[in-house]
Structure 1
Amino acid sequence: MLKVAVIGATGAVGQEFVIALNRHKWFELTQVAASERSAGKKYIDAIRDPNSGILRWHNREEVPEYVKNMVVSKVDDIKPENFDLIFTALESDDAKIVEPKFAKTTPVISTAAAFRYEQDVPILIPGINDNHAELLNLQRKNRGWKGFVAPLPNCTTTGMAITLKPILDRFGIEKVFMTSMQALSGAGRSPGVIALDIMDNVIPYIPKEEEKVQVETKKILGAMNNGSIAPAPLKVSCTCTRVPVLDGHTESVFVETEQTADAEEVKKEMLKFSKNVSIKDLPTAPKDYIVVHDDPTRPQPRIDRELNDGMTTVVGRLRKDTAFDNGIKYVLLSHNEKMGSAKGAVLLAELLKDRNIL
């Protein structure tokens, strides 16, 4: 068992880590850290509202027994050399300061954007760009670290990159246009104001989201070239919106392929990719990496987001697009708090352990 710590353990993403690591076959969560407000308290008390006494627990599952009485540490009190791996669930500004300190001695897997765009940092999605993991050893060498920082993609990028990979490999891609309908949980769990903003409403702008998706997709689907990643030469444009859905990002995707591709061929490629995906034997890997529905009313967040515990990307309305000479369009659903966040980070840790990088 590898000893791991979670930084930012009391927030929404940190809570997902606590769930994902419960009774894990390979990783043992031995320490949790959060803000000074929570430090020194038992975990169960740290997630309790100090005024009302109500638990600020955001998961449908109960708080796991193993973590309830674990005492929350200050971030500064964490001794990274005591761990085999550290998961961080921090805001980017904090991640820029904290993660390099930890990475000097210990691998860090991060949900923050702080290091995603640096040349020696891959943005890894297990099963999609596993070969980019070799860049982590170069990062260690470049920075003089024993560890590394391995960030996840933006949660909106994840589902789209997963579905584009089999299309790119078989047919090539010229252009991608995407419109997202993103869940509230992706904006954090702020009470009050966001509820007033979103009810009976669609918010057509999410700061920095579109830029993240456009850059990250090309980096993830790019090729390793002399110790760096050459971004994929496709063009990506998107519009990201917030909708009154609790969990699960829905995306409408239009793809111009290099070679002619009909909907049935694309479906076959997606399902073949799902069946043969490289990470299928890892503990957190879903039984189905991609599911393709023929029912034109699917996917739907309320029905489909928990498939395989939120680790499956669900595709539907796969059909020919008439605006492109070689065009395909579809709708996808990806669970932003499972595959797109903490549980996806645990899956990445499993991949790196399996590859002897951890």
Structure 2
Amino acid sequence: MLKVAIIGATGVVGQEFIVALDKHPWFKVEAIAASERSAGKKYLDALRDSSTGIMKWHQRTPIPDYARDMVVKSVNEIDAKDYDLIFTAVESDDARIIEPKLAEHTPVISTAAAFRYEQDVPILIPGVNDEHAELLDVQRKRRGWKGFIAPLPNCTTTGLAITLKPIMDEFGIERVIMTSLQAVSGAGRSPGVAALDIFDNIIPFIPKEEEKVQVEAKKILGRLVDGRIDDARFRVSCTCTRVPVIDGHTECAFVETSKGCEPDDVKRAMLNYSKHVSIKDLPSAPEDYIIVHDDPSRPQPRLDRDVNDGMSTIVGRIRKDTAFENGVKYVLLSHNEKMGSAKGAVLLAEMLKVKELL
């Protein structure tokens, strides 16, 4: 069992880590840390609003028994040398300060954007670009660290990159156009999206989201060459919107391919990739990495987001695109709080352990 610490354990994503690591066969949570306001309290008490007594627990499952009475540490109390792996669930500004100090001694897997775009930092999605993990050793040597920083992609990028991978491998990609319909949980709860803003409404702008997707998709699907990532050469354009759905990001993707292909060819490529994906035997891996529906009314967030505990990417409506000479279009659904967040980070940790990077 590897000894694990969680930084930012009382926040929404930190809570997801608490749940995702419950009874994990490889990782044991030895410490949880949060702000000075929570430090010194039992986890259960740190989640309780002092003025109202209301529990700020946002998960559908109860607080796992192992965490209830753990005493929350401050970040400054965490000695990275005491742990084999640290998960961080903090805002990017805090991550830029906290994560390098931890990575000097111990591998860090992060949900923040702070280091995603640096040359020696891969953006890893298990089963999509596992070979990029080699860059973590380059990062260690360049920075003189014993550990490393391995950030997850933006949750909107995750499902898109997973579905583009088999298309790129079989047919090549020239252009990608995507419109997202993103769940309100992706905005967090503080400050989040106000209820009166999202009810009976669609918000057609999410700050920095489009830029993240456009950069990250090309980096994830690029090639590792001489200690750096050569970004994929296709062009990406997207519009990201917020819709009144609790969980699950839906995306409408339009892909111009280098080679001609039919919808059935794309379906076959996705299912074949899902069947042979490299991470199938990892503890957190879903039975199906990609599920393709023939029913034109699917995927739907309410029906499909929790399939395989939210770790599958669900695809439907694969059809020819009439604007591109070679092209297809489809709808995908990815669970932003599972595969796109803490549970995806745990899956990444499993992949890195198998590669003996932990």
**TM-score bracket for this pair, using the shorter chain length:** over 0.9
For residue 355 of structure 2, what is the amino acid of its counterpart?
R
Residue number in structure 2 paired with 1:357:
357
1:111-135 deviation per Cα after TM superposition (whole angstroms, max 9, x unaligned): 0000000000000000000000000
What SS class does the counterpart of residue 239 from structure 1 fall into? strand
**In structure 1, C-alpha distance between the alignment counterparts of 2:193 and 2:237, rounded to whole Å:** 30
- 1:276-298 per-residue CA deviation (whole Å, 9 max, x = no partner) reads 00000000000000000000110
- Aligned residue number for residue 177 of structure 2: 177
The 1-side partners of 2:166 and 2:30 are apart by 38
Give the corresponding residue for 1:35: 35
Q: Post-superposition, which runs of at least 4 consecutive aligned residues in structure 1 deviate over 2 A?
A: 190-193
Letter in 1 for 2:122: P
Aligned to 2:109: 109
Q: 1:309 — aligned with what?
A: 309
1:310-352 per-position Cα deviation (integer Å, ceiling 9, x unaligned)? 0000000111111111010000000001000000000000000
Aligned to 1:74: 74
Distance 1:191 1:245 in 2: 17
Residues 1:205 and 2:185 aligned together: no
Task: For structure 1, list consecutive stretches of 5 or more residues without a partner in the other structure.
Answer: none
Tell me, in whole angstroms, the C-alpha distance in 1 between the residues paired with 2:169 and 2:266: 11
Alignment of 1:110-259 (within 5 A): 110-190=110-190, 194-259=194-259
Native 8 Å contact 2:203 2:243 kept in 1: yes
- Deviation of the 1:27 alpha carbon: 0.1
- Which residue identity does 2:313 align to in structure 1? T
Provide the rounded CA distance (Å) in 1 between the counterparts of 2:193 and 2:287.
39
- Residue 282 of structure 2 is matched in structure 1 by 282
- d(CA) in 1 for partners of 2:306 and 2:178? 23
Moved more, 187-196 or 168-177: 187-196
TM-score normalized by the length of structure 2: 0.99
Alignment CA distance shift 1:192-1:311 (3 Å)? closer
Q: Which amino acid letter does the alignment assign opposite residue 331 of structure 1?
A: V
RMSD across aligned positions (CA): 0.8
Structure 1: distance between partners of 2:210 and 2:327 = 22
Cα distance in 2, alignment partners of residues 145 and 352 from structure 1: 17
SS in 2 for 1:189: helix
Deviations 1:66-112 (A, max 9, x none): 10000000001100000000000010000000000000000000000
Q: Which residue of 1 aligns with 2:269?
A: 269
Q: Distance in 2 between matches of 1:153 and 1:339?
A: 11
Q: One-letter code of the match for 1:296?
A: P
What's the offset of the Cα at 1:192?
8.7
Contact 2:7 2:34 in 1 (8 A): yes
Question: 1 CA distance for matches of 2:333 and 2:189?
Answer: 21
Q: Deviations over 1:125-175 (max 9, x none)?
A: 000000000000000000000000000000000000000000000000000
C-alpha distance in 2 between matches for 1:192 and 1:65: 29
Once the two structures are superposed, residues 185-220 of structure 1 have per-residue CA deviations (whole angstroms, 9 ceiling, x without a partner) of 100013796112111110000000000000000000
- In the alignment, residue 94 of structure 2 is paired with which amino acid? D
- What is the rounded CA distance, in whole Å, between the counterparts of 1:263 and 1:132 in structure 2? 30
Deviation digits for residues 226-275 of structure 1 (CA, Å, limit 9, x no counterpart): 11000000000000000010000000000000000100010000000000
1:249 aligned partner, one-letter code: H
Note the alpha carbon deviations across 1:38-58, whole angstroms, 9 max, x for none.
Answer: 111110111111111111111
* Alpha-carbon distance, 1:32 to partner: 0.3
Alignment match, 2:328? 328
Counting aligned pairs with the same residue, the percent is 71
Letter paired with 2:352: L
Q: Secondary structure at the match of 2:32?
A: strand
- Structure 2 CA distance for aligned equivalents of residues 178 and 307 of structure 1: 23
- The runs of 5 or more residues in structure 2 that have no matched partner are none
Partner of 2:185: helix, strand, or coil?
Answer: helix
Distance in 1 between the 2:193 and 2:261 partners? Answer: 45
Report the equivalent of 2:4.
Answer: 4
